[in-house]
Structures are given as structure tokens and as C-alpha cells.
């Protein structure tokens, strides 16, 4: 029993050290410093949303872009039952697939989606997030079009979906992003 406890403690220390190392890497930057219009976008979303607004405090960045740009379509916020915050490579992208870095979406009363590949094999993998929250990571994949990786988790009756360009985000950085959003909580 003692050996098992020591093993679990050792594994926890390794995971926490890897997580801290990732968050302190040059690839990860504070979202508030790197994403222009993020504060204004979140303020807009908070005015119309009936659910708490969260967003990752750390994001992976592409060093070839000096900044990213936040955007949320006001027409999509009219129901108050969810929100979508886009992060784009250009200021005039407005969430269009070809110039979108990623997004965080929150939806009331939705369930995580288990996606399959063309051979009908489930490609979504269970991952453990902070506070023992069950997450569901789907790697980037092609299905007629290309879909970047996403990570989904639930908090009460709210489903959060985080999607990010896999040129900058891998599984570990997606988990780190989700964890920073969960830990930081409401903006």
C-alpha cells in the first residue's frame, strides 16, 4: 500500500513539474498580453451571457505573429445560453476558418461529442483536467475539411469546447489552456 502511495505521489510530482515547465515555456504567453481586444470582447460577452465567462489565461502562440485578435459575434449572444470567443490571426478575420487561431465556446445543456475517424474508430480520448474534471480531447483530423484539435469538458450543465490551431497547440498545451481557464474561473 505504501509503495502504491509513493508511486502516485511521484507521478503527481512529475506531471506538475511538466505542467509548470510548459506554462513557463516561450511558446505559452499570457492571453491578456497577447490577444488584442480580449478584455473588450469578454466584457461584451459578459453583458449578454447568463452563464459565467471563462477564458484561458495562458495560450500557445505562433512567434511569426506579433499579436492575435479576439472577436465574438454579438448576434450569437442573443439567447444568453452560451457564447463563443474567437481568437484570430488578423483583426478583420471575424472567426473565419482560414484565419482563426482558435476559440472557446460555452453551451448550456450540451454533452461532449465523441468523434470518429473515416474508419468509424473513436478518436476522442478521455483526459483528466484540474480539479478532477473529466475532459475529452480530439486530435486534429481530416474529414472532408480539416478540423483542428479540440478539448471539451463540463462544469455543471455547461459544456466548454476549446479548439486551437495545431501548428501551435498539442494535447499537452490544450490541457494546460483548459486548466488555466478552469483555475482562473470567471473573468
Those residues whose C-beta lies under 8 Å from the C-beta of residue 83, and which sit 6 or more positions away, are 45, 48, 49, 51, 53, 72, 76, 77, 105, 106
In this predicted structure, the answer to whether residue 18 has a pLDDT above a threshold of 50 is no
Asked whether 96 and 102 are in contact (CB, 8 A), the reply is no
Model confidence pLDDT, tens digit, residues 105-159: 999 988 999 998 888 999 999 999 999 999 999 998 877 788 889 999 999 999 9
Segment 56-81, tens digit of pLDDT: 999 998 888 888 999 998 766 556 68
| pTM exceeds 0.75, yes or no | yes
How do the domains of the chain map onto residue ranges?
A: 29-184
Amino acid at each position: 500500500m505504501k509503495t502504491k502511495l509513493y508511486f502516485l505521489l511521484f507521478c503527481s510530482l512529475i506531471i506538475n513539474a511538466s505542467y509548470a515547465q510548459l506554462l513557463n515555456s516561450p511558446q505559452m504567453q499570457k492571453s491578456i498580453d497577447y490577444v488584442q481586444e480580449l478584455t473588450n470582447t469578454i466584457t461584451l460577452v459578459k453583458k449578454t451571457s447568463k452563464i459565467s465567462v471563462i477564458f484561458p489565461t495562458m495560450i500557445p502562440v505562433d512567434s511569426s505573429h506579433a499579436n492575435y485578435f479576439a472577436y465574438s459575434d454579438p448576434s450569437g449572444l442573443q439567447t444568453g445560453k452560451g457564447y463563443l470567443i474567437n481568437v484570430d490571426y488578423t483583426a478583420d478575420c471575424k472567426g473565419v476558418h482560414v484565419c482563426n487561431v482558435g476559440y472557446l465556446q460555452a453551451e448550456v445543456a450540451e454533452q461532449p461529442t465523441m468523434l470518429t475517424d473515416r474508419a468509424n474508430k473513436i478518436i476522442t480520448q478521455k483526459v483528466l483536467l484540474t480539479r478532477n474534471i473529466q475532459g475529452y480531447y480530439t486530435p486534429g483530423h481530416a474529414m472532408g475539411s480539416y478540423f483542428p484539435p479540440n478539448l471539451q469538458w463540463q462544469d455543471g450543465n455547461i459544456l466548454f469546447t476549446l479548439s486551437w490551431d495545431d501548428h501551435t497547440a498539442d494535447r499537452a498545451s490544450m490541457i494546460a489552456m483548459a486548466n488555466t481557464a478552469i483555475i482562473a474561473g470567471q473573468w
